[in-house]
Amino acid sequence: MILARGLTKRFGSSVALDGLDLEVHEGEVFGFVGPNGAGKTTTIRLLLDLLRPTSGSVTLFGADPRAGGVHVRSRIGYLPGDLSLPPKVTGRAYLADHAALRGLDLSVEHGELAERLVADLDRPMGELSLGNRRKIGVIAAFAHRPELLVLDEPTGGLDPLVQQTFRAMAHEAAAEGRTVFLSSHVLDEVQHLADRVAVLRRGRVVAQDRVDALIARLVRIVTVRFAAAPSPTTFADVAGVVDVASTRADELQFTVAGPAGGLLAALAPHRPLDLHAPEPDLEDVFLHLYGEDAS
């Protein structure tokens, strides 16, 4: 659905994207994460031909978005991160105009989605809160059932219940074989939605894989309590154990890389009383990949 190779964008001496490679497959929810300024929005604008690359290539549906023009964009639903709506126009009128540009009457779809999202379509949009304006942008992106949804920070300003509804809509789209490209710095949202994720750092993709596969690469800390802790050297040759530290007379702390099966087998003869191993998540992956730049 999306293929980028060596995608580069410079603004004068500033490099926003630096040789980005990206693959997004049909029917998946793909998370695109990174802090503000990492190049997420620039990437999206290049995908949609709102910006032109300095070098490199990108295709959507196997077509050049520049050469494909209107035909390519007719198959896309787009929610920009910096959504700007005319303040004196109602949501209903705006959505009708939006659909008319596509040559469609989507009034039924607009009504159904507004009901799901609890969106007010009859007030001027300048009177609405950020979250309620965001709902109208979500409706505009989803209503024509596009093959590809490109969503930039889609849940900004939405309350938790509406965020759950949005997640359900994204899952439904993927279940129907449509593709969702989700750019966000809300890592919990991406972890619960995405099949695969790419982590962007300084304009480059530094990791691209399934969320569970990225998490499996992390080292984790396992704290084990005993009646009397054995010597840390007992576990020096256990597969996957990177380090062992004695934290108390009855406790050892293990640094484990990869599966913990070897450690569990080695612990059993020593009759551990308790074991604590917090499950890593996408935030841990993000911090690991960014290192000192994480802040």
pLDDT in tens, 169-219: 999 999 999 999 999 877 778 888 899 999 888 888 888 888 877 777 767
What's the token pair of residue 40? Answer: 């997420």
Q: Long-range contacts for 49-57 (Cβ within 8 Å, ≥24 apart)?
A: 49/73, 51/9, 53/7, 53/8, 53/9, 53/17, 54/8, 54/9, 54/10, 55/6, 55/7, 55/8, 56/4, 56/5, 56/6, 56/7, 56/8, 56/19, 56/20, 57/4, 57/5, 57/6, 57/7
Secondary structure tally for the chain: helices H, strands E: 10, 13
Domains in the chain, CATH or no CATH each: 2-214 (3.40.50.300), 219-279 (3.30.70)
Instruction: State residue 291's pLDDT score.
Output: 63
Q: Give the pLDDT confidence score for residue 107 in this predicted structure.
A: 96
Given a contact cutoff of 8 angstroms between Cβ atoms, the answer to whether 229 and 252 are in contact is yes
Q: Which residues in the chain show pLDDT less than 50?
A: 292, 294-295
Say what the pLDDT of residue 280 is. 67
Q: Residue 173's pLDDT is what?
A: 96
pLDDT of residue 281: 65
pLDDT for residue 1: 94
pLDDT of residue 294: 46
pTM: 0.79
Angle ∠(14,17,18) on CA atoms, nearest 5: 95
Helix axes 130-142, 107-117, angle to 10 degrees: 140
